[in-house]
């Protein structure tokens, strides 16, 4: 039974070809090898049916996490920079050494405005 799994430990085992001169190859029959290869190919190379998170959704979730008043000294809000929207401390602003870029402002003006309003609302800042 253990010999069946030795093949799967090889790097890039799904690129191997089945040795057609044998009934079993590395302890696996041809049918088992083909089904395992098809499953691996689907998992590795076929796109998932789920859509990746949008840029706005990703930014919104990080704001919800860091703008809460319970974060105390580590609370962060969204503020405008010259070209990017940043997530940084409301006290230090752009001087915060631990600020994070959220999204570029150019082309996303409405989304940035929305994120700043949400950030202030969550942080209870007027």
Q: Is residue 50 a part of any domain in this protein? A: no
Exposed e or buried b per residue across 92-124, where buried means at least 16 C-beta atoms within 10 angstroms of its C-beta: eeeebeebeebbebeebeebbeebbebbbebbe
**Cβ(90)–Cβ(77) under 8 Å?**
yes
75 shares a domain with 17: no
Whether residues 79 and 116 fall in one domain: yes
Shared domain for 90 and 59, answered yes or no, is yes
- Are both 69 and 111 inside the same structural domain? yes
Token couple for 85:
């929207």
Note down pLDDT in tens along the chain; length 126 residues: 444 556 666 666 666 666 666 666 666 777 777 777 777 666 655 545 555 567 788 888 888 888 888 888 888 999 999 999 999 998 898 898 888 899 999 988 988 999 999 899 888 876
Whether residue 21 is found in the same domain as residue 62? no
Residues 77 and 38 grouped into a single domain: no
Same domain, 95 and 115: yes
């Amino acid at each position: 039974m253990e010999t069946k799994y030795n093949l799967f430990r090889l790097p890039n085992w799904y690129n191997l070809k089945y040795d057609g001169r044998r009934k079993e190859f590395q302890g696996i029959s041809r049918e088992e090898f083909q089904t395992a290869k098809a499953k691996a190919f689907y998992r590795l190379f076929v796109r998932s049916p789920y859509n990746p998170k949008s840029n706005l959704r990703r930014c919104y979730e990080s704001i919800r996490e860091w703008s809460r008043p319970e974060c105390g000294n580590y609370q962060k809000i969204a503020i405008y920079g010259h070209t990017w929207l940043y997530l940084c401390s409301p006290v230090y602003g752009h001087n915060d050494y631990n600020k994070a870029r959220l999204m570029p402002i150019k082309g996303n003006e409405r989304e940035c405005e929305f994120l700043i309003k949400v950030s202030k609302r969550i942080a209870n800042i007027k």
